[in-house]
C-alpha cells in the first residue's frame, strides 16, 4: 500500500531544485548569546571574580595536575562493539542429560528453547544480547538418549553425539522479540500481545544457518542427509536408520521459518483465562503474517 503511494509521488512531483528545498527546523543555528537583555547586565551571567568571570577555566578533563582519568585508563580495542555482539550462553550435554533423568524434559517430545527455559535450570536474558542456546560438548561421553532438539548453536562433536544415538539436532535462529515470547510463554501470553512472526537471521548469521554442516534450518535437507553420513564416517560410528525408529513422527517435526511455537501461528492472541485463541481475519494482517 505504502509502496504504491511512494511510486506515484516520485512520478508526479517536480524535479528537486533550489526553489523547492528547505532545511529541517532542527538545522537552524542559534545566534551567539551576547547576554545584553533585561536582567543580564552587570556580570552578564558570569558570577563574581575568579576563573569563571575571567575566562581562565582549565580544559575539560583536567584534575588539578595529577594524571586525569582519560589519560590514566588505557583504551582496550578488543572490547569495541562487545555490547552489540550476539551471545549464546552455554548448556552442556551433561546438564541436558541430567534434566532428562530428573523428569524436567520429556525425550518423547521435541526439545525446544522454551522447554529448556521452563525447566528453571537455564536462563536467557534477552536484554543482555542473549540470542539462544549453545549446546557444548561437556558430557558427550555420558549422553545416551535419542532426542529431537532445536538449539541456536552447536559444534560438530555435539551434532555427532546426538546423531550417533539416533536423534536429530537442528539449529534455528530467533530474533530478540520472538525470544521474549519463547523464554517465558506464559507471561508473554498474559500481556495480550499477538504471537510474533520470527524474522530471518542477520547477514553475518545467514551463512551459519544455511550451512548443512551445522544442520541449519535454512539449509537444503538433501545436503543435511549427506553431511550426516560424512560426519558418521569422520567420527567412526554407524549411522542409525531413522526410518526404522519408533519415534519417526517426532523426529520429522519441523517448524516453519516464521513460526515460533509448535501448533500456533504468528498473529494469534491467546486468552488464558477463557482458554481460547483469537485469530485475526483482516486481509492486511493475514498478508503480513503469512509473508
Partner 1 sequence: MELIGGILQARYCSSQNENPTEQQHEYEESTEEFKYVEKLLNNKMIPTPPQHAEYPTPSGWYPQTEEASKLPYFVHRNKFHNMPVYLLKKGPLERTKILKVDGDIQLFCEDLKNYLSMKYPSKIHYTHINEINNKVLVRGDHVGEVVEFLKEKGF
From candidates 248, 278, 287, 290, binder to partner 1 by CB under 8 A: 278
Q: State the nearest-atom distance from the C-beta of 245 to partner 1, in Å.
A: 19
Residue 286 as a binder of partner 1 (CB under 8 A): the answer is no
Residue 287 as a binder of partner 1 (CB under 8 A): the answer is no
Q: State the nearest-atom distance from the C-beta of 217 to partner 1, in Å.
A: 20
Contacts (Cβ under 8 Å, ≥6 apart) of 104: 119, 120, 121
From candidates 30, 54, 128, 281, binder to partner 1 by CB under 8 A: 281
Q: State the nearest-atom distance from the C-beta of 178 to partner 1, in Å.
A: 14
Return the SS3 of 231: helix
Only one residue has cell 560426519, namely 231
What is the sign of the dihedral through the CA atoms of 181, 175, 220 and 287?
positive
CA torsion 156-161-163-167 (nearest 10°) is -130
Site string for partner 1, 17-36 (x = CB under 8 A): ---x-x--------------
Contacts (Cβ under 8 Å, ≥6 apart) of 198: 173, 174, 175, 178, 257, 258, 259, 260, 266
Q: How many residues bind partner 1 (CB under 8 A)?
A: 46
Closest CA to 109 of 152, 168, 156: 168
Residue 217 as a binder of partner 1 (CB under 8 A): the answer is no
Q: State the nearest-atom distance from the C-beta of 184 to partner 1, in Å.
A: 8
Distances (CA, A) of 150 to 41, 113, 275: 73, 7, 28
Site string for partner 1, 115-154 (x = CB under 8 A): ---x--------------------x--xxxx---------
Return the SS3 of 271: strand
Residue 190 as a binder of partner 1 (CB under 8 A): the answer is no
Contact 131, 87 (CB under 8 A): yes
Residue 270 as a binder of partner 1 (CB under 8 A): the answer is yes
Q: Which is closer to partner 1, CB of 108 or CB of 243?
A: 108
Q: Which is closer to partner 1, CB of 46 or CB of 142?
A: 142
Q: Which is closer to partner 1, CB of 3 or CB of 9?
A: 9
Only one residue has cell 535454512, namely 218
Contacts (Cβ under 8 Å, ≥6 apart) of 179: 113, 124, 126, 130, 131, 132
- The interface region with partner 1, picked from 81-89, 146-154, 244-252, 269-277 by CB under 8 A, is 269-277
Element (H, E) at 153: strand 153-154
- Tell me the sheet residues that pair with 87: 130
From candidates 64, 81, 282, 291, binder to partner 1 by CB under 8 A: 282
Give the residues lining the site for partner 1 (CB under 8 A).
Answer: 1, 5, 8-9, 13-14, 20, 22, 94, 97-98, 100-104, 109, 114, 118, 139, 142-145, 184-186, 189, 261-264, 268-270, 272, 275-284
Amino acid at each position: 500500500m505504502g509502496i504504491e503511494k511512494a511510486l506515484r509521488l516520485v512520478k508526479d512531483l517536480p524535479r528537486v531544485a533550489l526553489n523547492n528545498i528547505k532545511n529541517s527546523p532542527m538545522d537552524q543555528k542559534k545566534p551567539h548569546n551576547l547576554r545584553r537583555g533585561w536582567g543580564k547586565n552587570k556580570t552578564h551571567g558570569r558570577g563574581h571574580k575568579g576563573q569563571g568571570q575571567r575566562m581562565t577555566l582549565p580544559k575539560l578533563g583536567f584534575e588539578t595536575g595529577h594524571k586525569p582519568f582519560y589519560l590514566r585508563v588505557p583504551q582496550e580495542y578488543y572490547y569495541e562493539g562487545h555490547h552489540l555482539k550476539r551471545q549464546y550462553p552455554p548448556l552442556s550435554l551433561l546438564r541436558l542429560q541430567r534434566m532428562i533423568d530428573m523428569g524436567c524434559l520429556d525425550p518423547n517430545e521435541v526439545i525446544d528453547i522454551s522447554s529448556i527455559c521452563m525447566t528453571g535450570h537455564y536462563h536467557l536474558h534477552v536484554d543482555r544480547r542473549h540470542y539462544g542456546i549453545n549446546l557444548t560438548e561437556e558430557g558427550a561421553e555420558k549422553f545416551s538418549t535419542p532426542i529431537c532438539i532445536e538449539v541456536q548453536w552447536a559444534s560438530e562433536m555435539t551434532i555427532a553425539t546426538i546423531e550417533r544415538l539416533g536423534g536429530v539436532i537442528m539449529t534455528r535462529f530467533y530474533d530478540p522479540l520472538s525470544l521474549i515470547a519463547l523464554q517465558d510463554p506464559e507471561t508473554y501470553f498474559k500481556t495480550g500481545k499477538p504471537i510474533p512472526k520470527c524474522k530471518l537471521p542477520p547477514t553475518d548469521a545467514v551463512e551459519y544457518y544455511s550451512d548443512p554442516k551445522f544442520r541449519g534450518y535454512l539449509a537444503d535437507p538433501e545436503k543435511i542427509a549427506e553431511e550426516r553420513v560424512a560426519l558418521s564416517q569422520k567420527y567412526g560410528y554407524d549411522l542409525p536408520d531413522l526410518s526404522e525408529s519408533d519415534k519417526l513422527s517426532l523426529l520429522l517435526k519441523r517448524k516453519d521459518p516464521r513460526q515460533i511455537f509448535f501448533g500456533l501461528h504468528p498473529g494469534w492472541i491467546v486468552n488464558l483465562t477463557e482458554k481460547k485463541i483469537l485469530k485475526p481475519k483482516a486481509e492486511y494482517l493475514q498478508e503480513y503474517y503469512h509473508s
